[in-house]
Amino acid sequence: MAAKWIETLTGSLDQKKQYKAYKARIEALPEPYRGSAKAFERYFMYYGGVTDGDTLITMVSDFADLWERASVDGTPVREIVGDDPVGFAEDFARAYDGKQWIDKERKRLTDAIDQATAQQK
C-alpha cells in the first residue's frame, strides 16, 4: 500500500531502477563510446523532453544497446553517428514519440487562445 502511494508521488520505482541500470551500462562502456554516449545523453536532456516514463526507459535501453553493440563489434563512433551528430541525436529521439513536456504547454496555449477568442464573440 505504501509503495503505491510513494509511486503516485514520485513515479515508478521500477523505472528508477531501470534508469539506474542504464546509467551503469553507459559507465561500463570503454572510451570513446562512453564519452560519446554521455555527450548524446546531455543533448537528449535538452532536446528530447520525453516525460512518459515507459517511453524514456525504452529509449535509453535501446540507446545503451546501440553503444554496447558498437563497443563489442569495434564499430567506429563516426560510423554510427555519421557526419552530423546533431541530426543523428534528433532522429534517434524522434523515433520515441512519447508524451513530451512541450505537449502540456501546447495545450495551455491553445486553451488560452480559445478562451480569449470566445470572449470576442
What contacts 71, CB < 8 A, 6 or more positions away?
29, 30, 33
DSSP code of 80?
H
Q: How many CA atoms lie within 13 A of 101 on its CB side?
A: 8
Domain 1-119 sits in CATH at 1.10.1900.10
Q: Output the pTM of the full model.
A: 0.74
- In single-letter form, the type of residue at position 82 comes to G
Q: Tell me: the pLDDT tens digits for 28-70?
A: 999 999 999 999 999 988 876 676 788 889 999 999 999 999 9
Domain regions of the chain by residue span: 1-119
Cell of 121: 464573440
